[in-house]
Structure 1
Amino acid sequence: MKTVRYLLLTAATITLSACTTTSESSRQQTLSITARSGVKTLVAKNWHIDDDCGQIDYPAMTIAEKPKHGRLEIVHEPVYPKLDGKQSKCATTKVNGVVAYYTPNPGYTGRDRLVIRSPYEDGKIEEGVLNITVVK
């Protein structure tokens, strides 16, 4: 039974750019997004499912760098996994996952940044770097 584990950085508003770098033990995904001041924004989701779309466990997601001008909250909640290939059949099945929300401080506008880490495959780490532009 093959398992699938993903960290998907999400932009609920405007995606400005994305970049991924990879080494043998880790990979880093960088994304620039726009968020509204004081508004909770989905920034990442992660799941760990088998080939039959069944949950294996709640994957780990940790905050490697906190935002300076807002709050990052990590919660367990149902998600629709976004997958390609054979597992794309799971895209319409809600599974239990881990979700990260960023909320900029009310009234703040400007730039912020946060970093989320999550394991993938056997002992590898994915780091998600979000460069955030906060607007009114």
Structure 2
Amino acid sequence: MDLPTSAAKPIAALPAARSASVAGPLAAAVAASWLCLAGPALAQTTVTRSETVPAGKQARLVIVPNLKKDCSSGPMPEIKVVTPPKSGSLITKAGKLKTPAKYRCPNKDAEVQAIFYQPNSGYTGSDGVVVEIKNSDGEVEKRDIRITVDKAGDKAKDEKKNGTDL
């Protein structure tokens, strides 16, 4: 029996693709052996939040520094788009910033990854995006961001998030 080598397939789906040629208890044993190879599941938190974006403007949705919990520098965070927006596009940027005074590591120079949302021209209404963020400590967090594209925009909101600056 040839073993599948593609890492792109989900591990649990691999035995099913071969099960037509394997019958009965042997199929169950093969399936169980593949699941054992999968390893432990990593804990993952999901954060749901809302953002309002002015029509025709870009807004920063996510910004993640390369700082570990102890405030030392770590590897660049990884941001993976799980569900892209239906009525706009995402722009990723990397750069260097000093963390805000109220951040857990205040006034620290850090490299950052950021995602900006740009609504389609003329679009107003609801949109959304889901991203997975692997921070510098290796922890993964899923963010479900519900977006409202507003006609006029609210200037009282955080102006720092609107635009293309990190």
Deviation at 1:74, TM superposition (A): 1.6
Are 2:128 and 1:113 equivalent residues in the alignment? yes
Q: State which of 143, 156, 162 in structure 2 corresponds to 1:128.
A: 143
TM score, norm. by length of structure 2: 0.57
Which residue in 2 is equivalent to 1:17? none
Would the alpha carbon gap of residues 54 and 69 (structure 1) be closer, same or farther in structure 2, given more than 3 Å must change? Answer: same
How far apart in 1 are the matches of 2:136 and 2:76? 14
The Cα offsets for residues 46-91 of structure 1, whole Å up to 9 and x where unpaired, read as 122257745322111111110001111122112344697xx73x32
Identify the residue that residue 8 of structure 1 maps to in structure 2: none
Equivalent residue runs for 1:78-117 within 5 Å:
78-81=96-99, 88=104, 90-117=105-132
* 1:33 alignment partner, one of 51, 54, 59: 51
Which residue in 1 is equivalent to 2:89? 71
Larger strand fraction of residues? 1
Distance 1:50 1:65, change over 3 A: closer
Partners of 1:80 and 1:26 in 2: how far apart? 28
Contact 1:53 1:95 in 2 (8 A): no
Superposed CA RMSD in Å reads 2.7
Amino acid at match of 1:62: K
* Percentage of pairs with the same residue: 25
Partner Cα distance (1:80, 1:51) in 2: 16
- Choose 1 or 2 for highest CA Rg: 2
Task: Give the TM-score of the pair, scaled to structure 1.
Answer: 0.69
Q: What's the counterpart of residue 73 of structure 2? A: 55
- How many residue pairs get aligned? The number is 111
